[in-house]
A and B are shown apart, each in its own frame.
Chain A
Amino acid sequence: MDFENKTILNNKNITLLQVKNLKVYFYLEEGILKAVDDVSFDIGRKKVLGIVGESGCGKSVTAQSILRIVPHPGRTVEGEILLHQNGNLVDLARLNPSGREIRAIRGKEIAMIFQEPMTSLSPIHTIGNQIMEAVLLHRDISQSEARELTLEMLYKVGISNPHQRIDEYSYQLSGGLRQRAMIAMALSCNPSLLIADEPTTALDVTVQAQILELMKELQREFGMSIIYITHNLGVIAEISDEVLVMYLGKAIEHANIDEIFHNPLHPYTIGLLKSIPKVGKKARTRLEAIKGIVPPPLDLPRGCRFYQRCREAKEGICNVDNPSLIEVTKGHRVSCFLYK
């Protein structure tokens, strides 16, 4: 135990957050929905981890559980979420979800931006007031200093006339500007981790490109780590250093970006990459689709959750045991019986 802690502390310059065996279950009337089931991963400092998966794979719930904002009736059943904070280790999974410690971490150490900024910004307060409120909550500075800082942040996220925008309301801004304001708010306390939950999904392609470029720039400047959640493989390829692929609550593959796109190991990852149309490839060829549909997440069959849709599925193995995530080559982890 001591030894283990020591190695973690020695790694403090490298690792920022460690998620270990995280399980988040939703206790519904119809049964237990295992939204996140035994997921583990690390994020290094100044790294971008992309989490990809289809709807219902548990990628958003994973992010919510880090901030301890999993909606009712979801509960973090098991696991550790270790945050390395100036040499200390804090297990976020043990904190009271409405307690003081987690509130001090939310916004300050870990910030989050959402898919639809309209619903996460208050319509009755100006953009400036909301950012200032976040700043004043976590930093010991005066009102006027906070305003200065807010103007600076708005400028940094590329809002062209911050002196005018600071006193505007969220509905007066376009989708792209709103997302920029959200980012300004999230970064105002200089967090060490930014969780971005599909931040560009609701935006147009040209605006999406702007926001992605902005996030890359800001990451260089502020040096935070980012967990970027999306279903869009193109966006993942654009921004991440590492990728975690999820399917029905399980992490099925975890590797650096180049490995995922050029040497994918899990049949699901391979299938996913083959099934998306790629620009520049000869047009109008048939896509190699993954057969079947994502099974309903309540009462899943035994064995690998991808079994029914998998091309490589072996009866008697894949539908009996659940494969665990094992390291196949350095830094490339996969959960599949093909690699044992």
Chain B
Amino acid sequence: MIKKSGMPLLEVKNLKKYFPVEKGFWRKTVGYVKAVDKVNLYINEGETLGVVGESGCGKTTLGRCILRAIEPTEGSILFRLNGDMIDITKLDRESLRATRRYTQMIFQDPYSSLDSRMTVLDIVGEPLLVNNLATGRKMEERVKDLVKVVGLNVKHLKRYPHAFSGGQRQRIGIARALASNPKFIVADEPVSALDVSVQAQTLNLLQDLQVEFKLTYLFISHDLSVIEHISDRVAIMYVGKVVELAKTEEFFLNPLHPYSEALLSALPKPDPRLRMKRIILSGEVANPVNPPSGCYFHPRCKYAEEICKKEEPGWKEVNPDHFVACHFAKELSLKGVI
């Protein structure tokens, strides 16, 4: 598959989302959960950026902040619309609503993401209706096309979601995301709730749609093998921060952050002949309410030194298009996947 990496469609600069931690009768703010902390990213037109991380690393919050489904605390999100870069964080309510049709989302849970009280026609047609793109007959025609595109039976438009299996429901969700002809889609773990055999169908569908409709994806997942399969570039998150950002092949061959190395090593490979000694990280993911000093990863890092406990590493471009936040990125030689 040929992909040209064009100009950035989306640029995220210094994005932060802090959730206040409230305590006591007066709900005094006693601290913050830094769910997304100083994140810098860019996504080129037509490519897929995979975001990987363990639970609670803020990858879902990042995806929702970029769509402004939740309000980011700080930072800017630049989105290319008709040739201009507009800052999504600065839009007022009406203009935000007007840009919503260009950015869409696919959810993890195929059950709670569809309103069980609406028919397929109403669910898929909703983006058309609220954005005044089509109504009545025209809407039905368009919904029929969409339903065909995602591989569902056109006769089932009047059915309710409870008539469908998890994989089929996910297809309905995808059809809804496509309805308003978006340019950019955040796919938040779209296959992790699905069975193995259905996962592959859904991943293939997402790839086909990307080519057909020239879509740009932000693909969030905890599964590195899925990410490798679908992404052009990869961003690794750890406790609210992006610690590494690189082209997929480069990342898998030559990771620069010790956490990335450990993640790659921990991934169970579906081949018993590849059983090997892995790097086992001690401990678990740091608590985002009370993260460790310096580099958040230092308590689990086997390469950590004094400086890692004191200073937070900066965001550096070590190789072209390969960013990493580690004090020793240049010195360490880490192992990727063969």
Complex CA distance for A61 and B199, rounded to whole angstroms: 23
Contact of B228 among A233, A277, A294 (CB under 8 A): A277
Task: Assess whether A279 is in contact with B225, with CB atoms less than 8 Å apart.
Answer: yes
A284 within 8 A of partner (CB): yes
With the chains together, A205 CA to B260 CA distance in Å? Answer: 12
Which residue of B198, B224, B263 has the most chain A CB atoms within 10 A of its CB atom? B198
Residues of the A chain whose Cβ atoms lie less than 8 Å from the Cβ of B338: 280
List of 6 A-B pairs having minimum Cβ-Cβ separation, nearest first: A234-B268, A277-B229, A275-B200, A209-B266, A289-B200, A204-B54
**17 contacting pairs across A/B (C-beta < 8 A):** A54-B197, A55-B195, A205-B222, A206-B262, A206-B285, A209-B265, A209-B280, A234-B268, A236-B270, A275-B200, A277-B200, A279-B252, A283-B228, A283-B249, A283-B252, A284-B1, A290-B201
Whole-angstrom CA separation of A281 from B264 in the bound complex:
14
Q: From known contacts A232-B268, A284-B229, infer whether A272 and B196 are also in contact, taking CB-CB under 8 Å.
A: yes
Given A279-B252, A279-B337, residue A204 in contact with residue B284 (CB < 8 A):
yes
8 Å CB contact of B230 from A233, A284, A290, A293: A284
Which chain B residues in 74-128 approach chain A with CB under 8 Å?
none
What is the chain B residue whose CB lies nearest that of A231? B196
Residue contact B270 to A237, C-beta cutoff 8 Å: yes
Neighbouring A residues of B229 by C-beta, 8 Å: 277, 283-285, 287
- Asked if B199 contacts A275 (CB within 8 A), the reply is yes
- Select which of B55, B196, B232, B278 is within 8 A of A209 by beta carbon: B278
- Cβ-based interface call for B131 (8 A): no
Contact between chains at B248 and A54 (CB < 8 Å) = no
Q: Are B200 and A290 in contact (CB under 8 A)?
A: yes
B204-225 contacts to A, CB under 8 A, are 204, 207, 222, 224-225
The reply on A121 being an interface residue by CB < 8 A is: no
Question: Using a CB-CB cutoff of 8 Å, which residues 59-80 of chain A contact chain B?
Answer: none
Q: Are A289 and B197 in contact (CB under 8 A)?
A: yes
A167 at the interface (CB under 8 A from B): no
Q: What is the CA–CA distance of A67 and B222 in the complex, to the nearest angstrom?
A: 33
* Chain B residue, CB-CB nearest to A212: B268
Contact A237–B228 (Cβ < 8 Å): no
In the complex, which residues of chain B have a beta carbon less than 8 angstroms from the beta carbon of A278?
225, 269-271
What separation, in Å, do the CA atoms of A290 and B199 have in the docked complex?
A: 10
Tell me if B165 counts as interface (CB < 8 A to partner A).
Answer: yes
Q: How far is the CA of A283 from the CA of B229 in the complex (A)?
A: 5
Contact among B195, B222, B226 for A277, CB-based, below 8 A:
B226
- Closest CB-CB distance, A33 to chain B, in whole Å? 16
Q: Is the CB of A286 within 8 A of B207?
A: yes
B268 & A271 in contact (Cβ 8 Å cutoff): no
B-contact bits for A194-220, CB 8 A (1 contact / 0 none): 000000000011111110110000000
Residues 255-307 of A at the B interface (beta carbon under 8 Å): 257-258, 261-262, 271-273, 275-280, 283-291, 293-294
The prevalent SS among residues of B at the interface is helix
B203–chain A nearest beta-carbon distance, Å: 6
Q: Nearest Cβ in chain A — how far from B24, in angstroms?
A: 21
B320 within 8 Å of A by Cβ?
no
A235 at the interface (CB under 8 A from B): yes
Tell me how many residue pairs across A and B have CB atoms closer than 8 Å: 146
Report chain A residues within 8 Å CB of B252: 279-280, 283
Residues 175-204 of chain B: 1 if any A CB is under 8 Å from the residue's CB, otherwise 0? Answer: 000000000000000000001111111011
A148 on interface, CB distance cutoff 8 Å: no
Q: In the complex, what distance in Å separates the CA atom of A55 from the CA atom of B55?
A: 22
**What is the bound-complex CA distance between A238 and B272, given in angstroms?**
6
- Rounded to whole angstroms, the CA-CA distance of A277 and B199 in the bound complex is 10
Within 8 A of A (CB), among B272-301: 272-275, 278, 280-282, 284-285
**Contact A276:B270 (CB < 8 A) given known A206-B54, A238-B275, A284-B1:** yes
Q: Give the Cβ gap from B172 to chain A, nearest Cβ, in Å.
A: 14
A271 to B232: give the CA distance in the assembly, Å: 26
Inter-subunit contact B268/A237 (CB<8 Å): yes
Interface residues of B in 231-272 (CB under 8 A from A): 231-232, 248-249, 252, 262-272
CB distance A279 to B269 under 8 Å?
A: yes
Q: Which residue of A lies closest to B336 (CB)?
A: A280
Point out which of A174, A206, A235, A238 has the most chain B C-beta atoms below 10 A from its C-beta. A206
Specify which chain A residues have a CB less than 8 angstroms from the CB of B54 in the assembled complex: 204-207
Chain A residues positioned under 8 Å from B225 (CB to CB)? 234, 276-279
Of all chain B residues, the one with the shortest Cβ separation from A257 is B272
Q: Tell me, in angstroms, the Cα distance from A288 to B204 when the chains sit together.
A: 9
Across-interface contacts of B282 in A (CB, < 8 A): 210
Chain A nearest CB from B208 CB (Å) reads 9
B259 closest partner in A (C-beta): A206
A54 engages B196 (CB within 8 Å): yes
The yes or no answer to B167 lying at the interface (CB within 8 A) is: yes
Could you tell me the distance in whole angstroms from the C-beta of A209 to the nearest C-beta in chain B? 4
B228 with A238: CB separation less than 8 A: no
Determine whether B44 belongs to the interface, using a CB cutoff of 8 Å to chain A: no
Select which of B203, B275, B337 is within 8 A of A287 by beta carbon.
Answer: B203
Question: Are the C-beta atoms of B204 and A286 separated by less than 8 Å?
Answer: yes
Q: Which residue of the partner chain, among B201, B232, B271, B278, contacts A237 with CB atoms under 8 Å?
A: B271
In the bound complex, do residue B284 and residue A238 qualify as a contact, i.e. CB atoms below 8 Å apart? no
Cα–Cα distance between A207 and B10 once the two chains are bound (Å):
33
A283 and B263 alpha carbons, distance in the complex (Å): 18
B168 interface contact, C-beta 8 A: yes
- Is A176 interfacial (CB 8 A cutoff)? yes
- Contact indicator A261/B230 (Cβ below 8 Å): no
The reply to whether B280 and A276 contact each other, CB–CB distance below 8 Å, is no
